[in-house]
Structure 1
Amino acid sequence: MPTFHARSNIADVVSQDDAREVVRGFLPEVLASPLATADASFPLAAILELIAPGDPRNEQLLDALSKIEDRAPRLPIGEPIVPPADYEADTVQRGSAPVVVPDSAQLRRMAEIEITGPRHGNPFVDVDLTAIFSLEDQELRVGGFYDGDGRYLVRFLPPRAGRWSFLTTSNARSLDGIGGLVDIADGDAHGAVHADGMHFSYDDGTPFVPLGTTAYAWTHQDRELQEATLAALGKTSFNKLRMGLFPKHFLYNENEPERFVFPRDANGFDTTRFDLEFFRSLEERIVQLDELGIQADLILFHPYDNWGFAKMGAVADDRYVAYVARRLAAYPNVWWSLANEYDLLLTKDDADWDRIAGVVRENDPYNHPLSIHNWVAIWDYSSPWASHASIQFGELLGSKVREWRRAWNKPVVIDECGYEGNIDQGWGFLSGEEETHRMWSIAMGGGYGTHGETYYDAGDTIFWAKGGSLRGESPARIAFLGSIIAASPTGRLDPLPSDFDAAYAGVAGEYVLIYFGAGQPAFRTVTVPDGVRAHIDVIDAWNMTVERVPGVHEGKVRVDLPGRPYTAIRIVADSAVSTDG
């Protein structure tokens, strides 16, 4: 008998008469909260702490509710569809399907092998196709997928130049045992991004410094708005974009998309098939982002759902994730986010997320970045499948990033630190100065921040939701921050021992930033390390200026400052780097 627990949906609790009376007896103020309305979907324990933080009645209430049956309807689990061994008759010759191999392909760019095969039944689930690519001592197992009209694709992202051989396996006889060769020429593509210690690098070793932004449902808007989004992004330095595969139903984002991941008819969505026009449009946008130098951080699940995608059940979830990974993993600029605000997806627990991560890893042979994003409960990123931390957090960012780096020894990305804008929500009415300050604080802690913009628009075209144009003041300042990071000898920042009133970061002895945040000192005495002669710059993070202090300096130096917030001092060893800011 299932009973209520800490992650039960508070709406299920208050809508059930016996549980509601228990709540009334312990914490009647819960029933007056808008977070406990019938259409809410929030975890019980988290909401109790928001309504009555630290109140001992919270634990008493949870204990009492744990003895009451949760009679909310349960999702049907269903059974996985196993591709049948007899999908094609024994009379069909093995490996007889026509295959098209590209005449030429380049290192770290997608190569696509097309096979024309059977189309009876439902090939999305009735046919499994894989190919083993081999070059000398290296092998990659790449899953194929059905692309409609008897067309099967295997997409390969070659990690090395040379002549690769491939051999297919399939339960469909005509697709089984097809072999061939793909010649991969050298090229100048950077390739995919991977975690590299506390930071990120491309396949070719070039450092990648994420300067991200957010447009959750931009690919679910009309083409004109999508084109406007790309044009806006092309004028910025943003190089990572958080975006969802499923549409979003939330504030300022309640329009019905034209197409979805799954086809829909009068009976609803068919989760055993995929809408190919949706995917082709999505792929066009992923390619266009790549041309702009932008990583597509693809969110697989989220709780802001009006169509049932957040509650499909494990079988449909895994089928969807496997298809998406097989179809999109060969695009070099793809990242995976299991979920936005995973702890609000109340039909999934930690074991479900571990399982889904395993599906991604099994079907992505290129090991793209993979993480999961929180609402309140921060994930334990020691999970072996997590390449980096992807966190929602808005306070004490510099110190928290340092703490999390030590805890997980992985890159830390604050993918939601609050949004510059003026809507009627606390997370969405930050000033440009505050947004810029938070991005600097994250960088000074050795982490990476993600921007968002939420300026009100009467037509609900808000960039954070739908894309369109950017109106805020922080994007230019974030680009300036990127130039300061890029000027480091390593192209990155690591935290350094700091003062109580200022954060230090950079490369010890070579490139040191001292950031004062909202403080506004008129001067500061700094110490150049023993044996080092250094240039000193005064940086204004808001006005985007770098002013050199005359001379080359040693020992203790008094540096005059403008007495404004958001200033920094940069100490650069004489031979370390050019200082054009």
Structure 2
Amino acid sequence: MQIESQNVERWNRVEISLDGPQIGNPFLEVSLKAEFTFKEREISVRGFYDGNGVYKIRFMPDEPGQWSFKTRSNQIELDNLKGNFNCIDASGINHGPVKVSNSTHFAYADGNPFYPFGTTSYVWNHQTEELQKETILSLNESPFNKIRMCVFPKYYEYNTAEPALYPYVGEQKRLYSGTFDFTDWMVKESDFNFVRFNPQFFQKLEQQIDTLQTLGIEVDLILFHPYDHWGFASMGKENDLRYLKYIIARLGSFRNIWWSMANEYDLMDLAQQKKKDEWDDLIQCVEDEDSYQHPISIHNWHNPPIHAMDNSHWYDHKKENISHVSIQHDNLFFVPKWHETYKKPIMIDECRYEGNLNNGWGNMSAKKMVQQFWEGVCRGAYVTHGETYLNENNIVWWSHGGKLIGESPERIGFLRKIIEEGEPKRLTPLGAESSHWEVAAGISNDSFVLVYFGDSQPTFKVLEFLPEGVEFHGELIDTWNMTIIPLEKAITNKTVIELPGQPYIALKLLKN
């Protein structure tokens, strides 16, 4: 028996490596768990087969001190093995896993606030090694601290190449012209063996997630999606559950993991891949298997008419085993209503993408993308970026990664700096939350107020929603040109504030 380290930082991984049987199908025939004990606490985690006769158990300790463990298995050589390790204090950027905080926000386990400023690059992890390295360099230079990415490869417009590795043993034997065809999503048979995982695939995925962790990036890992011609979207419930147990055994101890049950889950029903009523059991499986209770949600495809509030076609985010609302919508006016309905963090994980595609979802201007982020913050939500500019190689960030070429990331970083500097902020909408044209947010003690005017261009404003008798000093922010100008006079709820009469202006107010 080998233990990766006898001294493990709080919220880092302990990895126990064991030699065991290779005969038969170890993924099916060998059960392995371990009980980790700290004082009166006992936490059970599932082990997994990592190929070549090696079995592993991973654990993320959350309290400093001496821990012990004991294995349980149906194989005598893996059963009743005991050991211990010492958990030491966290250091550096290790703040622990992210959890829901103050009902509608997020914080790291050590209490530091986490403000998601995320991006989407669905299958960057399935690209060439050269392109993966370029993606990591781009992320390292970007303002993004969260990324949405898939486990399974993707078959969709601009995404018809086969990946180098597959998650299951088998071969892709069908021949495709490289032209995208929605009918391929209806595949009912597969050449892959859904009871034999490919450990090499998951080892690579783990390296990619660990690399993102070193950059301080949370990974919103999409467990299922409909864009499939391999059969991974229609494996059947038994295989789906086995896959969830396996991937959580491998990745649950990674502190920067979030679980996204699916991207556009309702499209999987239309594609005859997975019925809507199957999701309850799949989500329950994740909750049961994940000893660390990472954030978990599920993402929609269909939306109601722009002014409708009937979201009955969405998965019911009010359910207790859903930590936050992950939605596709480009009208942020409804955010306060969603807060009222769900009483959970609102993640606008797709608000369209900055780009120039033919598709309506992929040709938003950079100015509109930046506007979505500012409006989201001021309405109390968190918005996710995406970029869909075509180039001669058809390398599109939204799916492949590579280089970020749009104008919005730098300006999103400007906003992130404003939100993160100073005291922790738990922004909630103020008096302008009912307005389509301007939005304001503040923290509970009224010491910080942020007002955003979007594409409106007033020449003066009176902020009547400010608390009576409270005086502020302020700054005028040009959110596009990224300039900040101090305001000369004190501001109350009766002050006439002169404004430049141009769009994309904001005000930051601090209580005197």
- Asked if Structure 1 and Structure 2 have the same fold, meaning a TM-score greater than 0.5 normalized by the shorter chain, the answer is yes
Where 2:385 maps in the other structure, the secondary structure is coil
Of 513, 518, 526 in structure 1, the residue corresponding to residue 463 of structure 2 is: 526
Mapping for residues 220-259 of structure 1, pairs under 5 Å: 220-259=126-165
1:200 equivalent in structure 2: 106
Bigger radius of gyration: 1
* Alignment partners' CA distance in 1, 2:410 and 2:428: 23
Q: Which has the higher contact order (CA 8 A, sep 6+)?
A: 2
Q: Which runs of 5+ in 1 are unaligned?
A: 1-97, 575-581
1:415 equivalent in structure 2: 349
Partner amino acid, structure 1, of 2:34: A
2:417 equivalent in structure 1: 483
Mapped contact 2:425–2:443 kept (Cα < 8 A) = no
Mapping for residues 41-60 of structure 1, pairs under 5 Å: none
2:179 equivalent in structure 1: none
Shift of 1:525: 2.2
1:433 equivalent in structure 2: 367
In the superposition, the TM-score normalised over structure 2's length comes to: 0.90
Mapping for residues 145-294 of structure 1, pairs under 5 Å: 145-188=48-91, 189-196=94-101, 197-265=103-171, 268-294=191-217
Mapped contact 1:135–1:163 kept (Cα < 8 A) = yes
In the superposition, the TM-score normalised over structure 1's length comes to: 0.80
Shift of 1:507: 1.4
Matched, 1:318 2:241: yes
**After superposition, what is the alpha-carbon deviation per residue over 1:291-350, rounded to whole angstroms, capped at 9, x for unaligned?**
111011110111111111111110111111110111011111111101000001123234
Mapped contact 1:486–1:492 kept (Cα < 8 A) = no
Where 1:345 maps in the other structure, the secondary structure is helix
1:389 equivalent in structure 2: 325
Partner amino acid, structure 2, of 1:411: P
* Alignment partners' CA distance in 2, 1:453 and 1:309: 26
* Alignment partners' CA distance in 2, 1:531 and 1:490: 24
Matched, 1:565 2:470: no
* Alignment partners' CA distance in 2, 1:215 and 1:405: 27
Where 2:301 maps in the other structure, the secondary structure is coil
Partner amino acid, structure 2, of 1:148: G
1:371 equivalent in structure 2: 297
Shift of 1:497: 2.1
Partner amino acid, structure 2, of 1:191: G
* Alignment partners' CA distance in 1, 2:160 and 2:493: 60
Where 2:163 maps in the other structure, the secondary structure is coil
Where 1:391 maps in the other structure, the secondary structure is strand
1:84 equivalent in structure 2: none
Partner amino acid, structure 2, of 1:405: H
Identity among equivalent positions (%) equals: 43
Classify 1:403/1:554 alpha carbon distance in 2 versus 1 (closer, same or farther; 3 Å). Answer: closer
Mapping for residues 31-110 of structure 1, pairs under 5 Å: 98-100=1-3, 102-110=5-13
1:58 equivalent in structure 2: none
**After superposition, what is the alpha-carbon deviation per residue over 1:510-539, rounded to whole angstroms, capped at 9, x for unaligned?**
111121111011111235533433211111
Shift of 1:385: 1.1
Where 2:431 maps in the other structure, the secondary structure is strand
My pick for the range that moved more, 146-155 or 346-355, is: 346-355
My pick for the range that moved more, 543-552 or 259-268, is: 259-268
* Alignment partners' CA distance in 1, 2:262 and 2:430: 32
Partner amino acid, structure 2, of 1:355: D
Where 1:361 maps in the other structure, the secondary structure is helix
Matched, 1:515 2:452: yes
Mapped contact 1:101–1:182 kept (Cα < 8 A) = no
Mapped contact 2:325–2:347 kept (Cα < 8 A) = yes
* Alignment partners' CA distance in 1, 2:343 and 2:277: 23
Shift of 1:488: 6.0
Shift of 1:378: 2.1
Structure 1 vs Structure 2 CA RMSD? 1.5
Mapped contact 1:133–1:139 kept (Cα < 8 A) = yes
